[in-house]
Each structure stands twice: as C-alpha cells, then as structure tokens.
C-alpha cells in the first residue's frame, strides 16, 4: 500500500461533524457585526513580508519567530500571521480614507504562525476580527468592546472576563519605558532570554512575559511601584476614563490590568483582552486595541483606528457541540428515475433530500433513511401508480399516504 500522508503538525481538519459550530461562529459574526454597521472584507492570505515587518513590528514574536516566509520570483512573501496589517494595506490602497468615517470592516479566515503546537495553539488557526477607522474618540473603543461582548453573548458565552489597560501615547510611553528599563536594570541577568532581547527594543513587552521567574521579578515592590504608576498624560488619561465611563454605562464588567501590553507593536492608548476561565493556559479568546499610528506608518494618511481579533478555535472549544442536521427527507424507492425526479422537485422548493443513488434493496434504504433523515418519503410501486407518496415520520413511526405536493407542509410542520 502507498504511504499515508498525514496532516501537518499544528494544523487540523475541520470535519463534517464539527463544522456546525464553525457555521454558528460565522453566521453570528455576520449577523451581529452587520448590526453595528460593519462590512466584510476578504484580503489575500499571503502578503509582502515587509507589510508585517512594518505593520506588526519587527520587535514582536510574530515577526521574529513565527512567520511563514518564502521567496517566489525574488519576492519575499509571508502567509498572514494576523489580519490587521492586511486590512490596513487594503484600506490605504483602495482609498477608503475618502469614505465618511467611521469605516467599519470585519474579516474571518485562517492565520499562520510557526508556534509550538499545544492546546489552544495551532500553526494554522482562524480568527474573526473587526477594524474601525477614522474615530479617535473613546466611544469607538467602547463600541468595539461592546461588539466583542455582544458577539460572545450571542454564542452563549457569558462567563468571560474583559481586561483593559491604557498604554498611553508614544510621548507619555517614552518616559514609562525609560522607568521600566531603569528599575529592571539590576535584574537584567535574571530575566529570561526573550526578555533580555526585548529589554532594549520593546521594554513594555517584558511585562507580558509568561515565564514564572520573570513574573516573580515583576512582583518585587520597587518594580510594582513603577508598573502600577499612572504614567499616562492628561489627554490619554481623559480618553481612558471616558472609555471606562462608557463601559460602566453599558454594564460591561472589566478589570484593569497594568500588565496587559499585548504582543503587537502598534497599539496606543486602549488595549484589551477577553479571557475565559474554561480554557486552561491559553485562555485569551479576544485581543485588541487602538492603533492610531499604523495607517500612517504603512503609508496612508493619519487615521485613528481600533480593532480586535478572536481565535475561532478557542471560541469553538467553549461552544457546546452542535449535532449535524439531518436531512428533511430520504426518498425510498426502487424506481431511481421517479426518485430522482421527485428529489429535484423537492430540492427546487428548498427541501433537503437524498435518494439512493445505488438503488439498494427497499429495506436497506429504509434503514438508511432512519439514520440520516427526519422523514422517509416512500415511492413504492403502489404510490407511483396513483402519483402519491407515503411519508413516514422517523421519530414517531407515524405514516400517511398523501399527494406529492402536500409533502412540504407535512415535513415543515
């Protein structure tokens, strides 16, 4: 026998018995996001590597370690590790800054990161996300968070924790970064290798480190004092406090977490995450924030923006299983021509129906019907002669013989 080729490490098939949950995630996304005025955008799965280097930031784990990059005709191409950069590219390229603000876009689809596969972490995974352009006011941040909560609630997910923080603006952050570096300097040799590398380039990222020994260091009082200090400037503080007052008004419960800095370089002011206690260690389902300088950094005009992304696999693991739907009817007949014609008649009217393409024995067909359908639609010789059909309800076994045009009423009832 030929050698079997297996699925790649860190990737998964989504099988028919699991796809119901995915349909739900996608259907609710379309429904809820549309309610808030978002339009779907579909951007390519690969982009110029430079887009991510500049758009995600070359001090991030994503760009440094996790990208799937390859050369094709002298071009460096990367499978998208996230989709904000792609959406921003498209926003700029398609002149969407000319549209009246806000421009609200949502997306769903696969992302690729070369990470160590584990529960809740794959190399190909899926995100659903939103990006809103053109509004600097904190109403936009609040609406984005409200939308995330609304979407999660629509999926029956209520037991979640919203964490927020403000990273300030590049101006007030400079001083904060300096202080963080200063207070961590004596500990430099005790930091993990990643943190040592980030120390110069992206000191805020240290706060986000998941390594126990680093977390312990950050617990030290003198370091906590800097972390917990209110470093943000007056304008940023005003923005942040308005955001919180909107969240209060909307009854969105949140906790403030000064350690929340998010992995990506481009955030300013608001950052947030939504976590579930039912997910184990990879417990973040949603991450987002404000990124007012990204559009400009990627060559567009100054455009404030806010957005978030959710990991669909993690959402999925929180949803109850959804049984695949049964067919409305399965036609049982030993006259394939009649069965086929009847099937087409019903399909044209929106009924989900199959018949036995292999024309097996009548009893075999009945057995199959009871497995896959709610009703057996029996076209035996007798029924065919008088142009009728016997409809058997496969859960109650009740059976009636009726005119064929009455079938829809019977099975939709």
Query: Residues in the site for ligand ATP, rule: CB under 6 A?
Result: 82, 113, 115, 120-122, 125, 127, 263, 282, 284-287, 309-311, 313-314
47 or 313: CB nearest ligand ATP: 313
CA distance 44 to 313: 21
* Closer of 89 and 113 to ligand ATP (Cβ): 113
Structure tokens given for 383: 């029924």
Furthest CA-CA distance within the chain:
94
Taking the CA atoms of the chain, what radius of gyration do you get in angstroms? Answer: 28
CA gap 224, 211 in Å, rounded:
17
Q: Which is nearer to ligand ATP, 69 or 282 (CB)?
A: 282
Separation CA 413–CA 409 (nearest Å)? 6
**Can you read off the two tokens belonging to residue 77?**
């191409």
* Shortest spacing between CB 101 and ligand ATP, in angstroms: 25
Cβ closer to ligand ATP: 134 or 287? 287
Structure tokens that stand for 41 in this block: 């955008």
Q: Give Cα separations from 126 to 19, 88, 108, 113, 120 (angstroms).
A: 13, 19, 7, 11, 11
User: Using an 8 Å Cβ cutoff, are 292 and 304 in contact?
Assistant: yes
Q: Which residue is nearest to ligand ATP (CB)?
A: 311
Closer Cβ to ligand ATP, 149 or 286, answer by number: 286
Closest residue by Cα to residue 114 from 215, 219, 8, 252: 8
Residue 76, H or E segment: strand 75-79
| Contact by Cβ (8 Å): 269, 98 | no
Nearer to ligand ATP, 162 or 346 (CB): 162
- Give the nearest distance from C-beta 4 to ligand ATP in angstroms: 26
Q: 49 vs 127, which CB is nearer to ligand ATP? A: 127
Helix extents (H) in 260-331: 294-297, 312-318
Q: Which is nearer to ligand ATP, 125 or 176 (CB)?
A: 125
CB-nearer residue toward ligand ATP: 185 or 210: 210
* Both structure tokens of 396: 């109650």
* Chain position carrying tokens 């696969």: 110
Rounded to a whole number of angstroms, the minimum distance from the CB of residue 211 to ligand ATP is 13
- Residues whose CB is less than 8 angstroms from the CB of residue 21 and which lie 6 or more positions away in sequence, other chains included: 316, 319, 321, 322
Residue 230 beta carbon to ligand ATP: minimum distance, rounded to whole angstroms: 25
Of the pair 310, 377, the CB lying nearest ligand ATP is at 310
Q: What's the closest the beta carbon of residue 21 comes to ligand ATP, in angstroms?
A: 15
Minimum distance, C-beta of residue 313 to ligand ATP, in the bound complex (Å) = 5
Shortest distance in whole angstroms from residue 344 CB to ligand ATP? 43
Q: What is the rounded CA–CA span in Å between residue 413 and residue 408? A: 8
Contact in structure between 403 and 386 (CB atoms under 8 Å)? no
386 alpha-carbon distance from chain centroid: 54
The minimum distance between CB 377 and ligand ATP, in angstroms, equals: 43
Question: What strand order describes the sheet that includes 399-403?
Answer: 353-355, 327-333, 373-379, 388-393, 399-403
In the complex, what is the shortest distance from the CB of residue 141 to ligand ATP, in angstroms, rounded to a whole number?
16
| CA nearest neighbour of 44 among 52, 54, 33 | 52
Q: How far is the CB of 330 from ligand ATP (least distance, A)?
A: 38
């Amino acid at each position: 026998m030929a050698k079997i080729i297996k699925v790649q490490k860190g990737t998964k098939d989504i099988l028919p018995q699991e796809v119901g949950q995915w349909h739900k995630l996608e259907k609710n996304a379309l429904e809820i996001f549309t309610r808030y005025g978002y339009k779907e955008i579909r951007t390519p799965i690969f982009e110029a590597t430079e887009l991510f280097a500049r758009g995600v930031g070359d001090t991030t784990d994503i760009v440094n370690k996790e990208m799937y990059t390859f050369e094709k005709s002298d071009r460096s191409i990367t499978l998208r590790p996230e989709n904000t950069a792609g959406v921003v590219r498209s926003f700029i390229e398609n002149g969407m800054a000319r549209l009246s603000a806000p421009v609200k876009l949502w997306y769903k689809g696969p992302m690729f990161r070369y990470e160590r596969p584990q529960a809740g972490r794959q190399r190909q995974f899926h995100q659903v996300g939103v990006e809103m352009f053109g509004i600097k006011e904190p109403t936009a941040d609040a609406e984005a968070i409200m939308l995330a909560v609304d979407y999660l609630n629509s999926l029956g997910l209520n037991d979640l924790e919203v964490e927020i923080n403000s990273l300030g603006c590049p101006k007030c952050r400079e001083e904060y970064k300096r202080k963080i570096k200063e207070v961590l300097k004596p500990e430099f040799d005790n930091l993990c290798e990643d943190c040592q590398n980030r120390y110069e380039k992206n000191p805020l990222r240290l706060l986000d480190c998941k390594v126990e020994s680093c977390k312990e260091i950050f617990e030290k009082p003198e370091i906590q004092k800097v972390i917990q200090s209110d470093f943000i400037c007056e304008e940023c503080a005003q923005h942040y406090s308005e955001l919180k007052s909107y969240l209060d008004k909307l009854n969105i419960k949140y906790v403030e977490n000064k350690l929340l800095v998010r992995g990506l370089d481009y955030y300013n002011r608001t950052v947030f995450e939504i976590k579930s206690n039912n997910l184990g260690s990879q417990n973040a389902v949603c991450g987002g924030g404000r990124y007012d300088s990204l559009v400009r950094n990627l060559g567009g005009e100054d455009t404030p923006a806010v957005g978030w992304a959710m990991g669909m696999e993690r959402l999925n693991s929180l949803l109850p299983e959804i049984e695949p739907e049964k067919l409305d009817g399965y036609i049982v007949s030993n006259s394939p021509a009649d069965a086929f014609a009847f099937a087409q008649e019903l399909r044209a009217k929106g009924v989900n129906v199959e018949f036995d393409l292999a024309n097996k024995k009548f009893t075999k067909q009945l057995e199959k019907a009871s497995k896959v359908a709610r009703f057996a639609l029996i076209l035996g010789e007798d029924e065919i002669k008088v142009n009728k059909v016997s409809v058997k309800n496969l859960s109650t076994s009740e059976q009636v013989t009726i005119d064929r045009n009455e079938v829809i009423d019977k099975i939709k009832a």
